[in-house]
Amino acid sequence: MLSEKMIEQLNEQIKYELFSGHYYISMAAYCASKDLEGFANFFIIQEQEERFHAMKFFHYINEQGGDVKIIGLDQPKTDFKSLEEVFDLAWRHEQFVTKRIHKLMDFAIEERDHATQSFLKWYIDEQVEEESTMLSLLRKIQLVGGKGHGILMLDGELAKRQFTPPAA
Ligand code: OFO
């Protein structure tokens, strides 16, 4: 059984997960506009991951007898200057999401809601991976100076990315 306040907080997190997907599709559009189909694919797959994150909250709220409420999404940024900027923003965005997940965990601890603490553990681990993926790509892009052969090689690598539902 979840408190009303907890249901509200979890519903808000659905919004953030869906917004992450929205933001990444916008980044995919920028990459596609530069003919970087591999980078576009990376963000298209990332959007599927974010939907998975959102739906995990959706099912948890339902399982616990709460009502899911879908809240409107904000307009994501659409004008990007470079691939480096895109990955810098993606990395910063993941840090923001990590902070939100940690705040949720703090609240679950405060409420002595053990079930939600156990549920959120998965997200805490997932965020370590999410931040690391974005930072690693940002560093690689910086390493090759954001252009040339290196970028084409990375693009080829990222074209292979496929969606595999993360282990529950
Ligand atoms: Fe849902 O992890 Fe990215 O935002």
For the chain, list residues with pLDDT below 70.
Answer: 167-168
User: How many angstroms separate the alpha carbon of residue 59 from the centre of ligand 1?
Assistant: 17
Residue in 67, 86, 70 with CA at minimum distance from that of residue 78:
86
How far, in Å, from the CA of 41 to the mean position of ligand 1?
A: 16
**Residue showing tokens 């979890």:** 10
In a domain, 112, yes or no: yes
Index of the ligand 1 atom closest to the CA of residue 97: 4
How confident is the model at residue 135, as a pLDDT?
A: 98
Rounded Cα distance, 79 and 67, in Å: 36
**Considering the domain boundaries, does residue 33 fall inside one?**
yes
| Residue 164 included in any domain | no
136-150 pLDDT tens trace: 999 999 999 999 999
Q: Is 13 touching ligand 1 by the criterion CB < 6 Å?
A: no
> 147: number of CA atoms within 13 Å, CB side?
2
Domain of 134 in residue numbering reads as 4-158
Burial of 143 (0-12, 13-18, 19+ CB in 10 A): exposed
Give how many domains the chain has, as a whole number.
Answer: 1
At 29, which CATH number? 1.20.1260.10
Please tell me if the CB atom of residue 17 comes closer than 6 angstroms to any atom of ligand 1. yes
Residue 168 falls inside a structural domain: no
Domain membership flag for residue 154: yes
Is 167 a domain residue? no
**pLDDT of res. 168:** 60
- Structural domain contains residue 84: yes
Least Cα distance to 27 among 164, 140, 165, 158 occurs for 158
Residue 141 located in a structural domain: yes
pLDDT at site 81 = 97
The pLDDT tens digits of the residues spanning 81-99 come to: 999 999 999 999 999 999 9
